[in-house]
Structure 1
Amino acid sequence: MLKNIISYGFTLAFLQLLIACGPAPEEAQADLEDVEMVSTETGGDQTAEAKEAEILIVAFGDSLYAGYGLDQKEGFAPELQAALTTVGKDVRVHNAGVSGDTTAAGLRRMDFVLDSLSRKPDLVILGLGGNDLLRGLKPADTRDNMEAMVKKLQGRGISVMLTGMLAPPNLGAVFSDEFNVIYPALAQKYDIALYPFFMEGVVGHPDLFLPDGLHPTAKGIDIIVGKIVPQVVEVLES
C-alpha cells in the first residue's frame, strides 16, 4: 500500500522555491483566511441533486481541496466526481474543503461536517497539513491532529484515504524528517490508503500554479485528479 516517499524528494527543491517566491507565510495565511469559507462559495458539493448517488465521498481538506481561485466546477471535488462518474461510479463528492484550515481547525469542524450530511459517507479523503507547514507548526501537533481525525472517522465506521504533503527544505532537515513521515506512518498504523503527495505532477511546473505560486490552476487540478482517481477507485472496490 505504501509508496516509497523518497521518490518524491525531487519535489522539495521546487517547494522551497514556491515558499520563497510566493507570499510570505503570514501573508499567504492571511490571504487564505480572508476566504475562510470558500468551499461554500466555489462549490463541488452537488447537494441539490434530485437522486442521491450510490456512493458518497467527502473531500475533507483545505484550499487545495476547496478550489481556491477557481471556477465552481474546476476544483478538486467536482473534478474528482466527474472523473469517477466517467469510469462508471455513481458517486457524489461532497466538498468539505475550507481555505486556511490547519489540521487543528479541521479536527474541530469534523464532527459538524459529518453530522450535517444526509448519510454516512462511504469514504473520506483527508488532506490537511499544508497550512501547518505555512505556519511552521510543530510536526508532532500535526500528527496528533491527523491521527485524531483518522480515529474519529474509523470510530464512525467510515473508510479513510490520506493525501499527504511534504515539507519544504527551508524548514530544516529535522523538521522535514519529522513531518514527512506523518502520513506514511498513520497509513501503516491504521491500515488505510495513502496517496503520498497530493501535488504530484504539478510541483515543478510553474505554469500549473495560480499567480500566488501556491494553488494549482484548473489544469493542475486535472492532473492531480487524473493521478489520484485509480487509487480512489481501488479503495471504493476493496
Structure 2
Amino acid sequence: MRRREFITLAVGAASSWLPLLSVHAEDRVIKIVVLGDSFTAGSGISAGYRFTDQLEIALRAKGQSAAVINAGVGGDTAARGLARLSRSVPDDTDAVILELGANDMIRGIDPSVTRTALSEILRNLEARRIVVLLCGVRTRTTFGDEYKSAFAAMFSGLASEYNVLFYPAFDEAFVDDAQLKLLDGLHPNAAGVKAIVTGILPEVEALIDRARRKER
C-alpha cells in the first residue's frame, strides 16, 4: 500500500471513532449533591422513595447519567448548611441543588442573615466551578407581609446575582394538597415527593447540561 493511501485510510478510521468518543464523554456520570433540609432529607419517608432516590430514577429514565447524593439535614437553616458545606459538598461534585431557607422563615430569622449565608454558599460553589440550581420555597410565616416579601425577593435576587438556575418554590407541588403530605401536615409523603420530582425535573436536566458544558 502506498503512503498516501495509508494516510487516507488512517484519517478515515480515526474520524469514524469521533461519534463514539462523543457518546462516551456524554455518558460520564454527573454527581449532583442535594444540599437541603428535611424536605430533601426525606423525613418520614422510606429509603427508595426520598427526593434524591426518586430524582435519580427519573433522570435515568430520561437517559441522563447522574448520581444524586442526599445531603439534606432535618431542621437545617441556611447558616447551618454553610457551616457544613465543605464536608457535604466535596470537590468532585459537578452540581448542587440548594434547598435551604424554609426553617429560617419558620423561625423568624432576619432575611438578611439568611441571604448572607446563602450568598456565601453560592460564592463558594462558584469558585469551585460547581453549577447550582437554587430552590425557593412558598413563603408561609406569621411574621407579617413585609417579612414574607423579603424572603420571596431574596431567593430570586440571589439567583440573578449569581446567574444560577432557579426553581421558585420547592414545596409548590404538595403544600396545598393534604393527600401529598405526611400526617404532620408539613412534609411531603412519597406521592408528594413524586410530584416535586415531576415539577423540578426539567430544571435538573438543564443543570446537568450546564455541568457538562463546564467540561468543554
- Give the 3-state SS of the residue equivalent to 2:84 in structure 1: helix
Q: Cα distance, 1:204 vs. partner?
A: 1.2
- Give the 3-state SS of the residue equivalent to 1:170 in structure 2: coil
Gaps of 5+ in 1: 1-51
1:89-168 matches, within 5 Å, as 89-115=64-90, 120-168=92-140
Give the match for residue 34 of structure 2: 59
Residues 36 and 73 of structure 2 are in contact (CA less than 8 Å); yes or no, is this contact kept in structure 1? yes
Partner residue of 1:82 out of 57, 61, 77:
57
Residues 68 and 215 of structure 1 are in contact (CA less than 8 Å); yes or no, is this contact kept in structure 2? yes
* TM-score w.r.t. length of structure 1: 0.75
Deviations 1:159-182 (A, max 9, x none): 011010132253201101111111
Tell me how large the CA RMSD over aligned residues is.
Answer: 1.4
Whose relative contact order is higher, 1 or 2, with alpha carbons under 8 Å and at least 6 apart? 1
Residues 31 and 93 of structure 2 are in contact (CA less than 8 Å); yes or no, is this contact kept in structure 1? yes
Residues 166 and 179 of structure 1 are in contact (CA less than 8 Å); yes or no, is this contact kept in structure 2? no
Counterpart check, 1:183 vs 2:155: yes
Residues 166 and 176 of structure 1 are in contact (CA less than 8 Å); yes or no, is this contact kept in structure 2? no
If you compute each CA radius of gyration, which structure gives the higher value, 1 or 2? 2
Letter of the structure 1 residue corresponding to residue 168 of structure 2: P
- Give the 4+ runs in structure 1 shifted more than 6 A: none
Letter of the structure 2 residue corresponding to residue 67 of structure 1: G
| Fraction of identical pairs, as percent | 38
Deviations 1:77-101 (A, max 9, x none): 1111010010001111010001111
Q: Cα distance, 1:112 vs. partner?
A: 1.5
Residues 53 and 92 of structure 1 are in contact (CA less than 8 Å); yes or no, is this contact kept in structure 2? no
Residues 138 and 172 of structure 2 are in contact (CA less than 8 Å); yes or no, is this contact kept in structure 1? no
Residues 43 and 187 of structure 2 are in contact (CA less than 8 Å); yes or no, is this contact kept in structure 1? yes
Q: Cα distance, 1:134 vs. partner?
A: 1.8
Letter of the structure 1 residue corresponding to residue 200 of structure 2: I
- Give the 3-state SS of the residue equivalent to 1:88 in structure 2: coil
